Amino acid sequence: MGSNPRTAIKIASAAIAVLIAVAALPLSSGASPSLDQLNSQLSQVQGREQALSASIANLSQLISSLGGQIALVQTREAEVRAELAHDRAKLAATQRALVRERRLLAVLRARLAFARYLLARQLVSSYEGDKPDLVSVVLEAHGFSDLLEQVNFLQRAEQQQQTIIVVTRIAKARAAAAAHRLAILEATERQITEADALREQALVGMNALLQSRQAALQQASAAKQAALAATRAQGQQLQSAIAQVQAQQAAAEQAAQAMSAPESSGSSAPASSGSGTPVNVGPALGASGGWVIPPSIVMCESGGQNLTPNSAGASGYYQIIPSTWQEYGGSGPAAYLAGKAEQDSVATRIWDGSGPGAWDCASMVGIH
C-alpha cells in the first residue's frame, strides 16, 4: 500500500514552513562578519535553496497525483450521471406504461361489468319465462314455416346466451391480466425509484470527495507558491552574500597593510517574503468510518453507498463483481443484496487475498 497523499502534503508543507522561517533569519548575527563566516553562511544558503527545490519537486508530484485522482472522481461522477439518466428514462417509460395499463384496466372492467349485467338479465329472463319444449313448439306451430321459425329463434337465443357467457369470461381474464401487468409495473417503478435514490446519494458522496480533493490541490498550490517565494528570497540572500564577500575581498586588498577587520558593509539581510506560516492541507480525502479497506477507495468506487449493479455487474459498498463475490464466500447472487456486515467480511477476505489491486480506484488514490 502506498503513502497517504494527505499526510505527505502535510509533511511537505511543514518542511516548507520551517525552511521559510529559517530563510527569514539574517545572514549574520554580528555587525562585522568575517570572510569565513560569510562563506559558511553562503554554504548554508545554498543548502537551504537545494532543500527548497526538493520540496517544490515533491509538491509538484503531489499536485500531479491529486490531479489524477480528481480526474478519476470526475469519471466516476460521469458514469453515475449516465446511469441516472438511463434509469430516469426507463422510469418515464414505465410511468407511461402504467398510465396505459390503468386506462386499459378501467375499460376492461367496464366491459366485464356490462357483460355480467347482460348475462344476469339473460339468466333472469330464462328463469321468469316458460322454457319451451320440442312437443309444445310442434303443437303450437301454425304450419311448417312457423315451426322452422320458432326452432331457429330458440337456437339463436341459445347461441346469444353462450356468446354472452364467453364474452364475460374473456373480459374477466383480460381484466385480471391487466391488473397483473399493472402490479408488475408498479413494482418496477418502486425499484427504479429506490435505485435512483441510492445513486443520487452516491453522487453526493463523490462530489464531496471531489471538492475535498480540489481544496487539497488548491492548498498544495498555495504551499508551492510560498516555497517559490522563499526560494526567491534565498536567491536574494545569496546575491547579497556574494556581494558582501566581494566587498570584503576588495576591502582586504585596499587595507592589506591594516590587519584589522574590514569595514562592515552592513549585516541586515533582505526582508524575507512570505509569513512562514505552514499551509493546512485540509480534511482527509474520503469518509472516515465504517470501512474495512481504505476509505478513499470506497468513496471513489461507490461514494459510500450500497449501489445496485452497474454496467460491469459490480455492486454494493465495495463494488464487487458477482464472480468475485461468490469466489470469496458471499451469499446470494450479488453483493448489494447482502447486509453491510457480510460485505465487510467479503471485502476483508478480498483485501487479504488480492490486496488493493482488486480495486481499480486503489492506484488512482495512491494506494499500492
Q: Are residue 15 and residue 128 in the same domain, yes or no?
A: yes
Q: Are residue 257 and residue 346 in the same domain, yes or no?
A: no
CA dist 348 and 330 (Å) reads 12
The per-residue pLDDT for 14 is 53
Q: Are residue 254 and residue 131 in the same domain, yes or no?
A: yes
Measured torsion, CA atoms of residues 207, 208, 211, 216, in degrees rounded to the nearest 10: -140
Q: Are residue 364 and residue 248 in the same domain, yes or no?
A: no
Q: Are residue 272 and residue 363 in the same domain, yes or no?
A: no
Q: Are residue 266 and residue 136 in the same domain, yes or no?
A: yes
Q: Are residue 249 and residue 103 in the same domain, yes or no?
A: yes
Q: Are residue 191 and residue 331 in the same domain, yes or no?
A: no
Q: Are residue 253 and residue 346 in the same domain, yes or no?
A: no
Total domains in the fold of the chain: 2
Q: Are residue 244 and residue 332 in the same domain, yes or no?
A: no
Among the candidates 277, 300, 320, a domain finishes at 277
Give the residue numbers spanning the domain of 264: 5-277
Among the candidates 247, 277, 307, a domain finishes at 277
- Cβ–Cβ < 8 Å for 283, 41: no
Tens digits of pLDDT across the chain (368 residues) = 444 555 545 555 555 554 454 444 444 444 456 667 777 777 777 777 777 777 787 777 777 777 777 777 778 778 878 888 888 888 889 889 889 988 888 988 888 888 778 777 766 666 565 555 556 666 666 677 776 776 777 678 778 778 878 888 898 888 889 888 989 988 988 888 888 888 888 878 877 877 777 787 777 778 777 877 776 776 677 667 666 665 666 666 666 656 554 444 444 433 333 333 333 332 233 344 699 999 999 999 999 999 999 989 999 999 999 999 999 999 999 999 999 999 999 999 999 999 999 999 998 888 88
Q: Are residue 216 and residue 363 in the same domain, yes or no?
A: no
Q: Are residue 83 and residue 14 in the same domain, yes or no?
A: yes
**What's the number of CA atoms in the CB half-sphere (13 Å) around residue 131?**
6
What is the pTM (predicted TM-score) of this model?
A: 0.42
How many helices (H) and strands (E) are present in the chain, helices listed first? Answer: 8, 0
